Amino acid sequence: MANDKITRKNPAGVPEPVGNYTHITKIPRNAELYVTSGQIGLDENGKLPDSLNRQITYTFQNIRAVLESEQLSAADIIKVNIWATEKIDWDFMYSEWSAMFGDDDPAMTIGYIKELGWPEIKVEIEIWAAKV
């Protein structure tokens, strides 16, 4: 029988991850794939805070809401792409990250760019998830 769950690993012979992510995330055959648009840090009133950390907090809240709308959880996330326009406070980001993922880190890519869709957006996070 094929493996019917999402698995994550860091293979031997590859340097350890430099952050909270996994080098390989394997999705079982016949899993449903979900890809979100980049989520931003709008608050419950549709306002975008000035602070990067506040935007990160609201972005993770919005990600949780999107996941819940499809009966998904953080355990179903297979890939995270993060784009930021200013230096991320990694202690703060990893506290939000750990609250979502615990020790079950998905694959992740981070990029610093000049600007996102609106000039005031400081962070955007895209999620890929799979339902087994």
pLDDT tens digits for range 62-108 = 999 999 999 999 999 999 999 999 999 999 999 999 999 998 899 99
What pLDDT is attached to residue 2? Answer: 46
- The CATH number of 32-131, from 3.30.56.10, 3.30.1330.40, 3.30.200.20, 3.40.250.10, is 3.30.1330.40
Residue 3 — pLDDT band, cuts 50, 70, 90?
Answer: low
* Residues paired with residue 107 on neighbouring β-strands, in sequence order: 79
DSSP H helices in 9-81: 52-69
Residue 19 — pLDDT band, cuts 50, 70, 90?
Answer: confident
What pLDDT is attached to residue 35? Answer: 95
Say which DSSP state 93 is in.
H
Q: Nearest CA to 125 among 114, 115, 113, 110? A: 110
Q: Nearest CA to 56 among 87, 91, 80, 92? A: 92
Q: What is the pTM of this model?
A: 0.88
